[in-house]
Chain A
């Protein structure tokens, strides 16, 4: 190894990034060459000097970043809620519909939730461009820089796509559908996946996904699909408990109406009366109240709890 080669390799030597042979040759050279040893000493000083310029993160800065991130996450989650909240307000506060029109309003809500989920653009949530299924590669231009020579430098981000086919009995298909059913960026995809999964409510994973979506999905269309999947399991204690919680907490009157329909299938369960009476106490939507009242009447229970 010549002195010039040693000099060029000193930074990599200090970082421990030379190959075993190159390091061995460099060290042999250093043993013989005083000039290169002094170069190494200078390189070490320079190396250490960079440590002075390192910036450290203060605990205040880290705390502030963490707090901001928490707020952004919450805001992201509330984006959907505010939409449905506004919609509910439209039907309950501003429009004093005659009682005959209320079932139509509720049906409209169900339809809007379902079709809204299918047609919400994915970009509205994540800001990512999705490519057509037929496209093997999805490209996104990340950066464009004109060079002095007149050439243009373009940085392209590429995502390779793969098409998988199979039937619902295929474990791989089931796994992918379960993942897609939780895709936070695409409610349309969640609805489609849920629509396929609901045919297999007997599977533990599918039932968990349906219950999870019913409790937590921000989109009412997805929650309605999950409800459809749970129709046959309303007698199951875990499902019944979830339905009771959703009835009292879900912000969408269409969902609450559907839950009442499922719960009244279990009218022999005495705790159902208590849940419906609790709903009567807090419900402000006229149509849902009417359905709840009818359910209690059919169960020969009083409308109010005493």
Chain B
């Protein structure tokens, strides 16, 4: 069954999953789950919250896949679910002011994000030092963005999505997404300008 599913293109995979083929559903999840987890992790900067989004997003996919009518790409449909969940989490966090990833433990103060792997700056101590400082600065800047600005920046910069696709995913126009990205980069330039 799994080998048959490997050869399926995405629409065949979706149709098989809609018909109740569990192996097709699992394969569909595995095609996207790493990028979903990465998106949630970078947006929420919390491994636990990122995992919560992962679980809820794919459970919603499981419950609602039968309603998917191929009106848009599966990627757009899935990312609509994921971005809504992330936006909700970011907005709630803003209200509760729970942005910090720093926790007090019996061994002292720890930043939970230190346990998460960064994509670059391995092996070179000087670069690592610069990277850590920069990481802190960028984190502060990202916290200053509105949830939507942060989302658009994340999708464009880290996920490499075009503004048109971002607009479609977020249920807005390409122009609105462009304005959002513009505001985000202006804010970041203002905050990090002295660093570069």
| Chain A residues at the B interface, C-beta cutoff of 8 Å | 8, 11-12, 15, 17, 42-43, 45-46, 49-58, 61-62, 64-66, 68-69, 72-73, 76, 125-126, 128, 142-143, 145, 157, 179, 182-185, 212, 216
Contact = CB atoms under 8 A, between A and B. Distances in A.
Contacts of B157: 15, 50
Given A49-B196, A53-B142, 10 more contacts: A17-B162, A17-B181, A42-B193, A43-B189, A56-B117, A57-B117, A58-B117, A69-B54, A125-B63, A143-B88
A53 B20 contact: no
Contact of A52 (B18, B116, B138, B185): B138
B55 interface: yes
Interface of B: 18-20, 29-30, 33-34, 37-38, 41-42, 45, 47, 51, 54-55, 58-59, 62-63, 66, 84, 87-88, 91-92, 95, 113, 116-121, 130-131, 134-135, 138-139, 142, 156-158, 162-163, 178, 181-182, 185-186, 188-189, 192-193, 195-196
Given A45-B196, A65-B54, A56 B59 contact: no
Contacts, number: 134
A49 B20 contact: no
Contacts of B59: 69, 72-73, 76
A8 B189 contact: no
A284 B139 CA distance: 63
A69 B63 CA distance: 13
A194 B157 CA distance: 48
A143 B148 CA distance: 14
A52 B118 contact: yes
A172 to B, nearest CB: 13
Contacts of A54: 42, 118-120, 158
A61 B66 contact: no
A56 B38 contact: yes
A61 B157 CA distance: 23
Nearest to B188: A46
Contacts of A184: 62-63, 66
Given A8-B182, A69-B58, A145-B95, A55 B119 contact: yes
A49 B192 CA distance: 10
Given A55-B38, A56-B117, A145-B91, A49 B58 contact: no
Contact of A65 (B55, B62, B139): B55
Q: Which secondary structure dominates chain B's binding surface?
A: helix
A12 B134 contact: no
Nearest to B29: A69
B37 A126 contact: no
Contacts of A145: 91, 95
Contact of A72 (B34, B55, B95): B55
- Count chain A CB atoms within 10 A of each CB in B121, B131, B138 and give the residue with the most: B138
A15 B156 contact: yes
B154 to A, nearest CB: 10
Given A11-B181, A56-B117, A69-B54, A142 B88 contact: yes
B134 A57 contact: no
Contacts of A15: 156-157, 163, 181
A43 B186 CA distance: 11
Nearest to B53: A65
B196 A46 contact: yes
A179 B64 CA distance: 11
A182 B66 contact: yes
A46 B189 contact: yes
Contacts of A58: 116-117
A42 B156 CA distance: 19
